[in-house]
Amino acid sequence: MLKSDARTRAHSQSFAKWIIALSYFARSAFGVRGVFAPLLSGPMSRTSRQQLLQRHVTQLLQCRRCPRMQSTPVSGGAIMSDIMVVGQAPGPREPVLQRPFAHTAGKTLFRWFDEFCGVNEAAVRSRIYFAAVCRCFPGKNSSGTDRVPAPDEIRNCSSWMDNEIRILRPCLIIPVGRLAIMQFIDCPRLEKVIGYTFRVQRAGHRFDLIPLPHPSGASPWHKISPGRELTKCALELIARYPAIAALSKRRRQSENAATLG
């Protein structure tokens, strides 16, 4: 290789490193996608990604890959967001009400967001993308509780989540419950992962992961020490996360504007 070629290549590599560093800085400082992200991930516009996401959700709702599932898929809609919440699987109510976390677990989850992050249910649903390990209700098991999705069903459904990560390129994913957490990191015990932030890669994209315990009444983990304190710690991490803090700020601004108006 000629010396000048080598110099040019070295300059380009160092320029690329600067762009990557600046992009990460912009993302962590402002909680939004780095201003240089389009240079790093192709020229796809927000409108194109919105269209892709809309098409993705339409196809997801038609999915019938798992014959043992007891409902059709549930989706929270094609919400363009930097943040994803990943649940486990819908219960019996969600397919009827046609939205994720529509019943008791949802009440607790949205109360957590409201109390710790200052973002109410309507704002969470309209600003955060909701995914799940499986999108259909698995049915009940012999003891009358919700059946845990089988490995083949989780495998079948994982391509939907991979596609969502490719389209949205989120900065933060919040997996809710052990089954959801285990799709990203090892989770031998909730005590080892709740209250921490992890840097994770999936579907060719790197993002932060802040796990939460499942808020269903079936598991008392989040109500009893040390789960109670660790859950508080995780919610405080989420509240301080720049993209979440931006949602809270936007809500306060719109409330102030409504009061003044």
Residue from 53, 131, 136, 234 in contact with ligand SF4 (CB under 6 A): 136
Residue 29: what are its φ and ψ, rounded to 5°? -75, -40
Contacts of residue 200, defined as CB under 8 A and 6 or more positions apart, other chains included, come to: 173, 184, 185, 206, 207, 208, 209
Segment 199 to 258, residues that bind ligand SF4, using CB under 6 A: none
Q: Which residue, among 144, 146, 150, has the nearest Cα to 91 in the 3D structure?
A: 146
Least separation in angstroms between CB 116 and ligand SF4: 30
What are the backbone angles phi and psi of residue 30, rounded to the nearest 5°?
-110, -5
Task: Return the range that interacts with ligand SF4 (CB under 6 A); candidates 66-74, 115-123, 164-172, 187-195.
Answer: 66-74
Nearer to ligand SF4, 64 or 189 (CB): 64
> Cα–Cα distances in Å, from 33 out to 20, 38, 122?
12, 9, 23
Piece of the chain touching ligand SF4 by CB under 6 A; list 57-65, 78-86, 200-208, 236-244: 57-65
Residue from 31, 33, 34, 66 that binds ligand SF4 (CB under 6 A)?
66
Please identify, using beta-carbon distances, which residue of 101 and 113 lies nearer to ligand SF4: 101
Shortest Å, Cβ 220 to ligand SF4: 28
Tell me the CA distances in angstroms from 151 to 121, 183, 212, one per residue in order: 31, 11, 22
In the bound state with ligand SF4, the residue whose beta carbon lies nearer, of 69 and 117, is 69
Whichever of 147 and 205 has its CB closer to ligand SF4, that residue is 147
DSSP string, 199-241: EEEETTEEEEE--B----TT--GGGSTTHHHHHHHHHHHHHHS
Regarding 147 and contact with ligand SF4 (CB under 6 A), the answer is: no
H or E stretch covering 83: strand 83-87
Which of residues 55 and 223 has its CB atom nearest to ligand SF4 in the complex? 55
- 37: phi then psi, degrees, rounded to nearest 5: -55, -40
Number of helices (H) and strands (E) in the chain: give both, helices first.
10, 5
Who contacts 107 (Cβ-Cβ below 8 Å, separation ≥6)?
Answer: none
164 binds ligand SF4 (CB under 6 A): no
The Cα–Cα gap between 53 and 51 comes to 5
SS3 category, 65: coil
Helix (H) or strand (E) holding 175: strand 172-175
Interface residue with ligand SF4, options 23, 81, 156, 183 (CB under 6 A): 156
* Residue whose CB is less far from ligand SF4, 176 or 247: 176
Please report, as residue ranges, which positions from 72 to 101 form the binding site for ligand SF4 (by CB under 6 A): 73
Closer to ligand SF4 at the Cβ: 134 or 187? Answer: 134
Q: Does 134 bind ligand SF4 (CB under 6 A)?
A: yes
Of the listed pieces 29-37, 45-53, 128-136, 232-240, which binds ligand SF4 according to CB under 6 A? 128-136
63 contributes a contact to ligand SF4 by CB under 6 A: yes
Q: Which residues bind ligand SF4 (CB under 6 A)?
A: 63-66, 69, 73, 134-136, 153, 156-157
